[in-house]
Chains A and B, each alone.
Chain A
């Protein structure tokens, strides 16, 4: 069995969000880059657990990004996985990235593609579904549990208003979220080992993007908090009813 885990590079969760070049670019000065948490904590760690249970599984990581993605790819390899592939390109748009992923997935004959449920910068929650459609494969989104059973996948996923357990045959694309696995910290052996694991760089296939970012904006600043004395909860309730009109 071959598993491909898609990892993206995102700003650290505490990064200051600001824009430059006339609000057309994210200001990267002083920003720490991390593996998108959904990709790392849930997709990658669960895939590593599957491989630990069955060492015959081939586990490959994939990133579409420039050379500046390599530190996060190495960090992912320090957690686990046999090798990584980087498609050497800017991210253009979701369809472009999904097309690159689908191309690698098809050529490599992967049975299972894991993505995170969304990136914490673009919040697209789109790439998993696009990859599945491009491959003509089954797509299970928002997975909170994933197991192998009798050659099939047994998955628990979030649906509107609850969750369901379902079964599907491979090949499969699954988007992962909380519940799949517990966060891991890479150990020294992993970090040393990651240095010599193969990281293949391939050029992108030609794809026309469907969307583009015109500009960014920051939300208007909050007016500031209105404090109510701890002895006057009636005043809070009055404000919520009469001023904010929310209760």
Chain B
């Protein structure tokens, strides 16, 4: 009877979203009167005992280098072995979680809530709120099985730390062979990955052409932000496809989303409406994006953004 949090790692480092999953797992354990433990697969250079600060009591490791490569079948198999008596398994609903959680759900006959955003209501059964309609609504989902799996939307719950150190121990597991042979890996290096960024600066067709993207990238660099764009901008190859956010691109939920020269079409909003704070810079006061924004400047991006950059520089220097 415990909670198991699956900790996702890449290149030896724990993913930010997994600290959130750990926080969630610990709070859920407190709610259910049990303890939260964690599982880490592959070789990790981070100090895993620090997961104790997020409320994890014990960290189980299977540090086989073959697990540095994510294969949904292999991961689900090993997690199922390590899950033991755990009644709830928590993971991040990131790319890894989306690949692994459904397989695990079938394997353990455990009902899955993917895209969860809050702790369960256990007053009547086990009901978890999840994001639906691409962030435009929530659904309360009852999980009817004894075992449950919760895949938490990144940046939906936040992290909380305190004092604590987790016990770290290796766990025995047999690792099945993968049927997926990786031929080449292409990591986006140096930049902040869009899915994990706290701040995102995004540009639309209002920027007129790729030669003007310096405005976006300079502001992003100053703020330690990732860059994104609207769909037509990616479609006409002003920016790479992986920057496309929206209904048919990536859905993100940063703390701050700055939209420059983007009209705010409903399909664009579907990918960014879970952002905590939205800033819109657009020369058209009627642009629909202003209705979804927290802060806005009506003005020409080519005049406004350089001034914003100067103002940020000033505040960073002070």
Specify the main secondary structure of chain A where it touches its partner. mixed
Among B131, B144, B198, contact of A210 (Cβ-Cβ < 8 Å):
B144
Proximity string of chain B (195-235) to chain A, C-beta cutoff 8 Å, 1 when within and 0 when not:
11011000000000000000000000001000000000000
Quick check: is A188 within 8 A (CB to CB) of the other chain?
Answer: no
List, in ascending order, chain B residues with CB within 8 A of A241's CB. Answer: 315
Taking the nearest CB of chain A, how far is it from the CB of B194, in angstroms? 10
Asked if B266 contacts A165 (CB within 8 A), the reply is no
Among A134, A140, A230, A240, contact of B279 (Cβ-Cβ < 8 Å):
A240
Asked if A228 contacts B241 (CB within 8 A), the reply is no
Among B96, B112, B186, B255, contact of A160 (Cβ-Cβ < 8 Å):
B96
List, in ascending order, chain B residues with CB within 8 A of A233's CB. Answer: 297, 304, 307-308, 310-311
Taking the nearest CB of chain A, how far is it from the CB of B298, in angstroms? 7
Asked if A247 contacts B187 (CB within 8 A), the reply is no
Interface size on B, residues (CB 8 A): 97
A-B contact pairs, 15 of them (CB 8 A): A94-B112, A98-B102, A120-B247, A123-B114, A142-B95, A159-B95, A159-B185, A166-B181, A169-B179, A214-B140, A218-B136, A218-B137, A219-B138, A236-B295, A237-B308
Within 8 A of B (CB), among A192-247: 209-219, 222-223, 225-230, 233-234, 236-241, 244, 246-247
**One of B19-27, B59-67, B103-111 contacting the partner:** B103-111
Asked if B270 contacts A120 (CB within 8 A), the reply is yes
Quick check: is B236 within 8 A (CB to CB) of the other chain?
Answer: no
List, in ascending order, chain A residues with CB within 8 A of B10's CB. Answer: 160-161
Residues on A facing B (Cβ under 8 Å): 11, 13-14, 17, 19, 37-38, 41, 93-95, 98, 117-118, 120-130, 132-134, 138-142, 144, 154, 158-169, 178-179, 209-219, 222-223, 225-230, 233-234, 236-241, 244, 246-247
Quick check: is B180 within 8 A (CB to CB) of the other chain?
Answer: yes
Q: Tell me whether A211 and B256 are in contact in the complex, defined as CB-CB below 8 angstroms, given that A138-B179, A141-B72, A236-B279 are known contacts.
A: no
List, in ascending order, chain B residues with CB within 8 A of A134's CB. Answer: 106
Among B106, B144, B299, contact of A211 (Cβ-Cβ < 8 Å):
B144
Among A160, A227, A239, contact of B15 (Cβ-Cβ < 8 Å):
A160
Tell me the number of A-to-B contacts counted with CB atoms below 8 Å.
Answer: 270
Asked if A216 contacts B139 (CB within 8 A), the reply is yes
Q: Which residue of A lies closest to B312 (CB)?
A: A237
A94 to B151, CA, bound (A): 14
Quick check: is B52 within 8 A (CB to CB) of the other chain?
Answer: no
Q: Which residue of B lies closest to A226 (CB)?
A: B295
List, in ascending order, chain B residues with CB within 8 A of A141's CB. Answer: 72, 95, 98-99
